[in-house]
């Protein structure tokens, strides 16, 4: 008599770097359909608008993340001087002398993705998901695909364990990102309940800062050309 019990398939697990903004919320919505467990992690680095952490908590619970960890990384604030870490520095649409916007926080994604990778190691997760994007990025060097691939290689070598850094939005523009949210029936939630605005206004935002303008331009483009944009999304992300 064979008493061997059938092996249960292993659970697929992912860690979601989650800010509560449009991009990471859209990625979380998608990830929840692709993995058995999605563990959200939000970083408190003394950012300009601490309210985004409350938004992240609310959305992680509402959308059904397996768990949600908020990690204190305030040391980043001590090192990185930016309009997003100093209330005394107004958000500017002009580039600094180094060619970067003054909302760039140097080292932010290096730190966030490294810590998320360590967390994934502890959870036995196979992937870390981040909403960075090279197509509609704001000039941030740590949102580029080459950076993500380089860090992925470093994490795999440094921890001697397979790990993927997954970037579902890397080659999508903002209109296509809205189409992705709409595909999962969550466009209104992303529009009304996320926080992307550099001035800390939930939902549609202030309408004046660079983040709000980019977000609204993408939404207007999607709503005006839904079928075309949906086709573009399908061509870029056939498994989305």
User: For residue 68, what are its two tokens?
Assistant: 């949600």
Judge whether 143 is annotated as a binding position.
Answer: no
H helix runs in the chain, sequence order: 22-31, 51-63, 75-79, 108-123, 145-159, 174-183, 187-193, 210-224, 226-236
Q: Is 133 annotated as a binding residue?
A: no
Q: Is 22 annotated as a binding residue?
A: yes
**d(Cα 19, Cα 2) in Å, to the nearest integer?**
50
The two structure tokens encoding residue 49: 């608008």
24 is in an annotated binding site: yes
Hey, what's the torsion of the CAs at 127, 129, 132, 133, to 10 degrees?
80
Distance between CA atoms of 212 and 216, rounded to whole angstroms? 6
| 23 annotated to bind ligand | yes
Any known ligand binding at 84? no
Sign of the alpha-carbon dihedral angle for 83, 50, 191, 27: positive
* DSSP class of 5: P
Task: Please state the φ and ψ torsions of residue 42, each to the nearest 5 degrees.
Answer: -120, 140
Ligand-binding site membership of 19 (annotated): yes
Q: Is 212 annotated among the ligand-binding residues? A: yes
Q: How many CA atoms lie within 13 A of 26 on its CB side?
A: 30
The half-sphere exposure of 175 on its side-chain side, counting CA atoms within 13 A, is 17
Does residue 147 have a known ligand-binding role?
A: no
Beta-ladder partners of 128: 15, 165
- Is 18 labeled as ligand-binding? yes
Residue 25 assigned as binding residue: yes
Q: Is 22 exposed, middle or buried (0-12, 13-18, 19+ CB in 10 A)?
A: buried
Specify binding-site residues for ATP.
Answer: 18-28
Specify binding-site residues.
Answer: 18-28, 197, 206, 209, 212
Specify binding-site residues for Zn(2+).
Answer: 197, 206, 209, 212
């Amino acid at each position: 008599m064979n008493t061997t019990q059938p092996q249960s398939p292993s659970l697929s697990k992912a860690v979601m770097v989650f800010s509560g903004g449009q991009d990471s919320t859209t990625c979380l919505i998608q990830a929840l359909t692709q993995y058995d467990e999605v563990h959200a992690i939000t970083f408190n680095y003394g950012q300009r608008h601490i309210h985004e952490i409350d938004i992240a908590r609310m959305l992680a619970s509402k959308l059904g993340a397996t768990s949600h960890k908020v990690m204190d990384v305030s040391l980043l604030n001590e090192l990185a001087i930016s309009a997003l870490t100093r209330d005394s520095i107004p958000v500017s649409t002009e580039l600094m002398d180094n060619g970067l916007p003054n909302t760039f926080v140097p080292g932010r994604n290096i730190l966030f993705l490294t810590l998320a990778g360590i967390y994934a190691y502890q959870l036995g997760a196979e992937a870390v998901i981040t909403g960075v994007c090279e197509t509609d990025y704001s000039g941030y060097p740590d949102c580029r695909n080459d950076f993500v691939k380089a860090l992925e290689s470093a994490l795999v070598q440094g921890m001697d364990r397979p790990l993927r850094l997954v970037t579902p939005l890397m080659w999508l523009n903002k209109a296509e990102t809205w189409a992705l949210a709409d595909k999962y029936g969550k466009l209104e939630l992303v529009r009304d309940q996320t926080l992307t605005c550099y001035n800390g206004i939930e939902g549609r935002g202030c309408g004046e800062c660079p983040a709000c303008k980019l977000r609204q331009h993408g939404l207007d483009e999607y709503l005006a050309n839904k079928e075309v944009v949906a086709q573009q999304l399908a061509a870029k992300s056939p498994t989305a």
